Amino acid sequence: MIAQILANGLLLGGLYAAIAAGFSLVWGVLNIINLLHGSFIVLGAYGAFFLHTAAGVSPFAAAPAVGALMFPLAYALQTMVINRVVDRPVLITLTLTFGLNLILNNLMLLAFKADYRKVVLDPPLGILDLGAIVLPVDRLVATACSLLLVLALWSLLRLTRIGRAIVAVRMDRDAAALMGIDVRATYALTFALAASLAAAAGCLLAPLFPISPVASATYLGKAFVICVLGGLGSVPGVVVGGFALGVMESLGALSLGPEHAGTLAFLLLLLLLLVRPSGLLGRRGFD
Amino acid sequence: MRGLLLPLLSGVALLAAAAFATLAGDAYALRLATTLCLYIGLASSWNVIGGFAGYPSFATAAFFGIGAYAGSVLQAGYGVAAPLAWLSGGIVAALLAAGLGYCILHLRGHYFAIASLVVADVLREVANSWISLTNGGMGISLPLLSIGVEDQARLYFWVFGAVAALSVAAAWLVDRGRLGFALRCVEQNETAALMLGVDTRRAKRAALVLSSLAPGIMGAVYASWVSYIDPTDAFDVLLSVKPIIMALLGGVGTVAGPVFGAAAFLALEELFWRNLLELHEGALGLLVVLLVLFLPGGIRLVRPRRLLAFRPLAKPGRTP
Amino acid sequence: MTPALSDASSTVFRDPPLLELRGATRRFGGILALNDVSLSIGKGEVVGLIGPNGAGKTTFVNVVSGLVRPDAGQVLLEGRRIDGLPADRIARGGIARTFQVVQPFPRMSAIDNVAVGAMFAGGIGDPAAARHEARELLAFVGLESVQDRPAAALTLADRKRLEFAKSLAMKPRFLMLDEVNAGLNAAELDSALELVARVAGTGITILLIEHLMKVVRRACPRTVVLHQGRVLADGPTAEILADPRVVDAYLGVRDRARRPGIEPRRDLA
């Protein structure tokens, strides 16, 4: 019983890592809380949905393509709009992304309507019976893909020039600028990368959870909680935070009933902010 | 002079609106004027913590919602008289703010914003789940007052108007007094404020409590006004965001800014996107984006002397 | 290294010293920024605190003013412990400081900047009265011509004087001036030291944190040298500056052997 709950939690947590990675990246590097993040995820899920219904593409295969589609859109949004206020106080940047999210969410409501949709895999992937625990294969695949995405982000940040530039800007923007890094372009790259990741994560969620513009707030909330749990701006932190939230949610769903899992997460967030505002892992560089 | 002139002007404007609304006897105008008072109260209150102290609070919905629920539960469940229930709404909100003050005011920037934002979410879930008290998602229907429909509409206007006037007056007093000084110090350089002997913790707590009173009362009155509340309405995140937009419109951190901002916001809401129906929220979002990008200092109607003098608008003296 | 108070009156020994540190220690990560610092300063003294960069001078100021808590040891103001108190209470208790990097309220006028100190620590509750007091102090430090400008619009030298006026408005008993003279030219330095002397004349105890030896030599009868978080020497300034250990540590002879390319600063002595 406990093993099953833990397994469920870990599967969920792996997905959460991908949900939160981009959000954490933007927060850490741009010092902006991107309230659009949840909507990016939902947009990605719709992408997977339409690719699936129109061309029968598996959502897992669609993830890279949808992510790549998202990249130029987000890049343009950052260079044309967000970069203009990126250095302003929290109130301004937060209000701006709130406004942008209202627009995007409204457009999605108009285009897709509020009713829930879901990608139904045909044939279903079935379950993996390990005796003590039973794992749905679709979840297993989604979690594996999600962790792959996070791993890809991590290697990109560690191994590529662009990644090092992003890390440098996060550590010390002014010093990075002095070293010849184009900070504005790095911001745009970071934002676009994060949005692509969000959209790809959305694809992975498409066969598991109902798709609706209404869900964006939930995903955003989870990204918040994971960032605070795992500490801001580190990839391992996101993974740890994701697993922690996943396990706690499945334990909470068991003891309090599934409808309170979300509240539990928020209460946890408040509690954490009181005790350890910098997260369980503390504040570290994005490495 | 600046300090005296602006609230005076706002007061006159309010009175004019009041006279117009009551004299005209037009239900639509009266509802509009009542909403204006609600907005002024919320924006002015937010400005004390968000503008003066510079702490980006998203807790207005929490204060409004808990006030609405306190008032509704007391009236519907315990038969408490409406005025007492309304006041209790303010008191409960202030208690929440006082508690929150000890918990989240040591956070800065994004962390404070998020913590304050989450409070409303938690309370909404509590309201949803504590069915024995709040009737859960079914909401609470409130007893109607035993007076005529028109008298009732007028009454609610005056109540909202009084609370709005009180919150503007409170903001004005704070701005002129020691607390305002302390809060401006907090906003501009909290460490330096500490070093000069400013008890920043107490000042911030006072600001948060002050910013909760009017929303709490107004939440309770609002519940009576519309005679029904449910968790989704009472703790709507837009209740937290709209006052910020109003303050941004009029000028954050000034006494008159939120008043004018509330009026401007209501005008936009009525003229443009009330008719847009499905695009309502998108249009609101567009307003926010344009406002933040192009009018970061607000519409700058906040300095009538400057307007009268027809001097070119200087660079914004304060960044919100 | 006993405190040299030979020129002070004997009352200093009967009353508790104005400020006393007992074994104050503060660690940042693996670095001991303050290492078992014990020190007492009597009423009315003007003491210089010198040391090379990273010696712990600013940590000392931060610990005394309550911005940073000591990990161990005690800080006493007139015999009462103040370590662990909130910084604003310490400020109201009579300890004022300036910051090495000036910390004005950028969008407030110079007057209001100073009035804050008068209002919240100087015992003048009424804003109008505090502004009146602020005006006088701005005149005292020579800023009357820019008193209505926002602090952000002042020159660096003026902002340093503004810091000074802010701390004076607090009517402190103990005033720590953290490198108020850094970055000033010779004429500005002269007038700054003149101000320090005049303030000392009113009976305020002063700790002058300095990088420049010539400044302490001119302004302070007694000097304390911090080196690697410890009190290296403490006594009459002339003796201290002649102490070979101080010269060694200060000019970084040993350091220089390890870090070639770093020359001792010529303006130090």
Q: Which residue has the tokens 């203009």?
A: A84
* Mean pLDDT calculated for residue range A5-9: 87
Count up the domains in chain B and report the number: 1
d(CA C174, CA C103): 19
User: Which residues of chain B have a CB within 8 Å of the CB of C119?
Assistant: 178, 181
Do A33 and B113 make contact, defined as CB atoms within 8 angstroms?
Answer: yes
Q: Which residue has the tokens 């010269």?
A: C247
Neighbouring C-beta atoms of residue A268, cutoff 10 Å: 18
User: Does residue A32 surpass a pLDDT of 60?
Assistant: yes
Q: Smallest Cβ distance to B56: which of A90, A99, A107?
A: A90
Count up the domains in chain A and report the number: 1
> Are residues C181 and C105 in contact, defined by beta-carbon separation less than 8 angstroms?
no
Please count the residue pairs, one from chain B and one from chain C, whose beta carbons lie less than 8 angstroms apart. Answer: 78
For residue B181, what is the nearest residue in chain C, using CA coordinates?
Answer: C116
| Domain-embedded: residue A246 | no
Q: Smallest Cβ distance to B285: which of A89, A102, A262?
A: A102
Confidence band, pLDDT 50/70/90 cuts, at residue C258? very low
Do C91 and B197 make contact, defined as CB atoms within 8 angstroms?
Answer: yes
B177 close to A (CB below 8 A): no
pLDDT score for B25: 67
Q: How far is B46 from chain A (nearest CA, A)?
A: 12
A129: domain range? 21-216
Do B196 and C120 make contact, defined as CB atoms within 8 angstroms?
Answer: yes
Predicted complex ipTM exceeds 0.95:
no
Structure tokens at C198: 């005049």
Do B181 and C112 make contact, defined as CB atoms within 8 angstroms?
Answer: yes
* Mean pLDDT calculated for residue range B260-270: 87
Residues 90-129 of C with CB under 8 A from B: 91-92, 96-97, 99, 103-108, 112, 115-117, 119-122, 125, 127
Q: Which helix (H) or strand (E) holds C32?
A: strand C31-41
Neighbouring C-beta atoms of residue C36, cutoff 10 Å: 15
Report cis status (omega within 30 of 0) of the bond before A123.
yes
Q: Smallest Cβ distance to C120: which of B182, B189, B317?
A: B182
B197 close to C (CB below 8 A): yes
User: Which residues of chain B have a CB within 8 Å of the CB of A96?
Assistant: 288-289, 292-293
pTM for the model stands at 0.84
pLDDT score for B145: 75
User: Does residue A287 surpass a pLDDT of 60?
Assistant: no
Most confident of B201-205, B238-242, C252-256: B201-205
For residue A256, what is the nearest residue in chain B, using CA coordinates?
Answer: B129
* C1-12 CB burial, b ≥16 within 10 A, e <16: eebbbeebeeeb
User: Which residues of chain B have a CB within 8 Å of the CB of A110?
Assistant: 278-279, 282
pLDDT score for B62: 96
User: Which residues of chain C have a CB within 8 Å of the CB of B181?
Assistant: 112, 115-116, 119-120, 127
| Domain-embedded: residue A45 | yes
Do A102 and B121 make contact, defined as CB atoms within 8 angstroms?
Answer: no
Task: List the subunits that have 3+ CB pairs under 8 angstroms with A.
Answer: B
User: Does residue C7 surpass a pLDDT of 50?
Assistant: no
* Mean pLDDT calculated for residue range C5-13: 45
Neighbouring C-beta atoms of residue B124, cutoff 10 Å: 23
d(CA A287, CA A168): 10
Q: How does pLDDT run across A33-80, given as a tens digit for each residue?
A: 899 999 999 999 999 999 998 888 888 999 999 999 999 999 999 999
B88: domain range? 2-237
| Domain-embedded: residue B143 | yes
pLDDT score for B282: 86
Q: Smallest Cβ distance to C108: which of B176, B188, B198?
A: B188
pLDDT score for A72: 95
Please state which of the ranges A113-127, B99-113, C205-219 shows the lowest mean pLDDT.
Answer: A113-127
| Domain-embedded: residue B263 | no
B268 close to A (CB below 8 A): no
* Mean pLDDT calculated for residue range C177-189: 80
Structure tokens at A197: 């990741």
| Domain-embedded: residue A85 | yes
d(CA A273, CA B111): 7
Confidence band, pLDDT 50/70/90 cuts, at residue C267? very low
d(CA B4, CA B81): 37
Do A269 and B109 make contact, defined as CB atoms within 8 angstroms?
Answer: no
B53 close to C (CB below 8 A): no
| Domain-embedded: residue B320 | no
Q: Smallest Cβ distance to B188: which of C66, C105, C125?
A: C105
Please state which of the ranges B253-267, B285-299, C226-240 shows the lowest mean pLDDT.
Answer: B285-299
* Mean pLDDT calculated for residue range C156-166: 89
| Domain-embedded: residue A111 | yes
Q: Smallest Cβ distance to B181: which of C65, C88, C119?
A: C119
For residue B112, what is the nearest residue in chain A, using CA coordinates?
Answer: A273
Q: How far is C136 from chain B (nearest CA, A)?
A: 18
pLDDT score for A279: 53
User: Which residues of chain B have a CB within 8 Å of the CB of A91?
Assistant: 50, 54, 56, 113, 244, 252, 320
Share of chain A above pLDDT 90, in %: 35
Q: Smallest Cβ distance to B118: which of A94, A259, A266?
A: A266
Do B201 and C86 make contact, defined as CB atoms within 8 angstroms?
Answer: yes
C-alpha dihedral, B203 to B208 to B210 to B214, nearest 10°: 170
Confidence band, pLDDT 50/70/90 cuts, at residue C1? very low
Task: List the subunits that have 3+ CB pairs under 8 angstroms with B.
Answer: A, C
* Contact present, A and C (at least 3 Cβ pairs less than 8 Å): no
Do B129 and A81 make contact, defined as CB atoms within 8 angstroms?
Answer: no
Please count the residue pairs, one from chain A and one from chain B, whose beta carbons lie less than 8 angstroms apart. Answer: 119
| Domain-embedded: residue A256 | no
Confidence band, pLDDT 50/70/90 cuts, at residue C28? confident
Which distant-in-sequence residues (6+ apart) come within 8 Å of A17 by Cβ?
A146, A147, A150, A226, A238, A239, A241, A242, A243
User: Which residues of chain B have a CB within 8 Å of the CB of C94?
Assistant: none
B92 close to A (CB below 8 A): no
| Domain-embedded: residue A4 | no
> Please, what is the angle between helix A37-55 and helix A2-30, to 10°?
120
User: Does residue A265 surpass a pLDDT of 80?
Assistant: no
* Mean pLDDT calculated for residue range B161-181: 93
Q: How does pLDDT run across B189-231, given as a tens digit for each residue?
A: 999 999 999 999 999 999 999 999 999 999 999 999 999 999 9
Q: Which helix (H) or strand (E) holds C36?
A: strand C31-41
Q: How does pLDDT run across A137-195, given as a tens digit for each residue?
A: 888 999 999 999 999 999 999 998 888 988 888 888 888 888 888 888 999 999 999 99
Do B296 and A110 make contact, defined as CB atoms within 8 angstroms?
Answer: no
Q: Which of C95, C109, C112, C120 to mutate to test the interface with B (most CBs of B within 10 A)?
A: C120
Do A270 and B319 make contact, defined as CB atoms within 8 angstroms?
Answer: no
* Mean pLDDT calculated for residue range B113-126: 87
| Domain-embedded: residue B86 | yes
Structure tokens at A92: 């301004």
Do A99 and B286 make contact, defined as CB atoms within 8 angstroms?
Answer: yes
A266 close to B (CB below 8 A): yes
| Domain-embedded: residue B43 | yes
For residue C103, what is the nearest residue in chain B, using CA coordinates?
Answer: B192
B286 close to A (CB below 8 A): yes
Confidence band, pLDDT 50/70/90 cuts, at residue C51? confident
Which distant-in-sequence residues (6+ apart) come within 8 Å of C221 by Cβ?
C7, C45, C46, C236, C237
A102 close to B (CB below 8 A): yes
* Mean pLDDT calculated for residue range A224-244: 85
Share of chain B above pLDDT 90, in %: 46
Query: CA of B248: how far to CAs of A85, A221, B51, B258, B290, in Å?
Result: 14, 25, 9, 8, 11
Query: CA of B96: how far to CAs of A270, B124, B130, C120, in Å?
Result: 14, 14, 18, 28
